[in-house]
Amino acid sequence: MMGDPATPVRLDRFMARANAAYYGTRDPFADFITAPEISQMFGELLGAWVAVTWQGMGAPTPFVLAEAGPGRGTLMADALRLLARVAPACYAAARVHMVETSPRLRDVQAQALAPHADPVAPVWCDAVADLPPGPMILLANEFLDALPIRQFVRTARGWDERSVAGEVFVTAPATDLPADGPPATRDVPEGEVLEICEGALAIARQLGRRLAQGQGAALFIDYGYDGPQWGDTLQALCDGRPAWPLARPGMADLTAHVDFAALGVAARAGGCATWGSVTQGAFLSALGLFARAAQLARNQTPEVARQVSEAAQRLAAPDRMGGLFRVMAMASPGITALPGFEGCSPVAPVASGMEKGG
């Protein structure tokens, strides 16, 4: 089994099994709190993002409104409530799809979306690749960080790869380096760790192809870095506290920071444009977080007003989630403006054929 010291398991396979068990059996939100659970403002602002982006796509009717890794379903419920109120045409056009592997969380999400069961009738699927064709807007908050990573260690000769034996790491010379991403394309000092999330890169490449062919945009929000960074970012939360990631697999939430630079390269190789990444603080402020907070606090007790203001600070302050979390959009090359990215210009897709060195 997973904990057998005699048969090392490659880190990504260990992490995949541990997280499938964790999300399948535990209540993740007993261990950590996410932006949509901090405040309804988060999902509402993303709902507004959907409405404006949909207009920019030419208001296609119907369109797929998808969320990957929806947790308790709070983000989508808040977004739909806002759409129903302020953008009824967009609400009516949305065909809601939830990408979720945990049967237990699917039930929780169905309850959260119950007020929208008629007319929205949400549908569940296992993977981003299973989403139906057509115009699409996809949201994903703290989804990519849960996907399994591989860890490579730079040596004088090349690269070692980490596996798990019992509760410790073992390394052996890497035998099958991925051909088209780090570590092949990024070097680090000897002894340092370089991480790669093949699942995230495959999703980015596949979305890149899809958004090049049809109309759409995908928004990824996660903690991570955007640059030629390295280091071991694997972490575990168990019973709400940091824990050794290799102990008690399935009892702890295992995550790793998202490499937005690598994600962007993969998406653009697929054929779409990318926007950002920008910090969550900049993104939410541009979408009107503080105006919404002031509106929610109006005519409330001082205590409620203080809570709303505190939630906005927690989401946007540079030394809190606002600086730790980053936001990247992937979009069809024809889209010329995306809300929340006003300060940035999109990075163009790789022209087809260029990947082959032509």
Alpha carbon 234 to chain centroid, angstroms: 16
Size of the site for ligand SAH (CB under 6 A): 20
Stretch 117-156: interaction string toward ligand SAH, x if CB under 6 A: ------------------------xxx--xx---------
Q: Minimum Å distance from CB 11 to ligand SAH?
A: 16
Q: Which is nearer to ligand SAH, 94 or 146 (CB)?
A: 146
Residue 136 CA to residue 212 CA, distance in Å, equals: 12
Structure tokens at 335: 């889209």
- Smallest CA-to-CA distance from 208 within 180, 234, 233 is with 180
User: Is 101 near ligand SAH (CB under 6 A)?
Assistant: yes
Q: Which is nearer to ligand SAH, 212 or 218 (CB)?
A: 218
Residue 49 CA to residue 137 CA, distance in Å, equals: 10
Q: Name which position in 100, 161, 195, 226 contacts ligand SAH (CB under 6 A).
A: 100
How do beta strands 235-238 and 241-243 pair?
A: antiparallel
Alpha carbon 354 to chain centroid, angstroms: 28
User: Is 208 near ligand SAH (CB under 6 A)?
Assistant: no
Q: Are the CB atoms for 253 and 31 separated by under 8 Å?
A: yes
The half-sphere exposure of 53 on its side-chain side, counting CA atoms within 13 A, is 32
Q: Minimum Å distance from CB 110 to ligand SAH?
A: 13
Q: Minimum Å distance from CB 311 to ligand SAH?
A: 14
Residue 163 CA to residue 279 CA, distance in Å, equals: 33
Q: Near ligand SAH by CB under 6 A, which window of 34-42, 53-61, 288-296, 337-345?
A: 34-42
Q: Name which position in 10, 13, 21, 37 contacts ligand SAH (CB under 6 A).
A: 37
> Which DSSP helix (H) or strand (E) runs through 134?
none
> Which DSSP helix (H) or strand (E) runs through 14?
helix 11-25
Q: Name which position in 39, 53, 102, 215 contacts ligand SAH (CB under 6 A).
A: 102
Q: Minimum Å distance from CB 210 to ligand SAH?
A: 17
Residue 348 CA to residue 34 CA, distance in Å, equals: 31
Q: Minimum Å distance from CB 252 to ligand SAH?
A: 13
- Smallest CA-to-CA distance from 344 within 281, 282, 275, 265 is with 275
Amino acid sitting at position 48:
A
User: Is 105 near ligand SAH (CB under 6 A)?
Assistant: yes
Q: Which is nearer to ligand SAH, 188 or 256 (CB)?
A: 256
Q: Name which position in 28, 135, 208, 339 contacts ligand SAH (CB under 6 A).
A: 28
Q: Which is nearer to ligand SAH, 23 or 275 (CB)?
A: 23
> Which DSSP helix (H) or strand (E) runs through 329?
strand 325-331
Task: Please tell me the total number of residues recorded for the chain in this structure.
Answer: 358
The CB density around residue 103, as the number of other CB atoms within 10 Å, is 10
Q: Which is nearer to ligand SAH, 51 or 99 (CB)?
A: 99
Q: Which is nearer to ligand SAH, 230 or 260 (CB)?
A: 260
Q: Which residues inside 50-79 make contact with ligand SAH, applying CB under 6 A?
A: 69-71, 75
CA distances from 249 to 15, 29, 229, 245 (A): 8, 17, 27, 8
Report helix, strand and coil shares of the chain as percent, to nearest 5.
40, 25, 35
Q: Minimum Å distance from CB 298 to ligand SAH?
A: 27
Q: Which is nearer to ligand SAH, 8 or 71 (CB)?
A: 71
Q: Minimum Å distance from CB 97 to ligand SAH?
A: 12
Q: Near ligand SAH by CB under 6 A, which window of 31-39, 189-197, 204-212, 282-290?
A: 31-39
Q: Which is nearer to ligand SAH, 28 or 276 (CB)?
A: 28
How do beta strands 136-141 and 258-259 pair?
A: unpaired
Structure tokens at 356: 């082959």
By CB under 6 A, name the binding residues for ligand SAH: 19, 23, 28, 34, 36-37, 69-71, 75, 99-102, 105, 141-143, 146-147
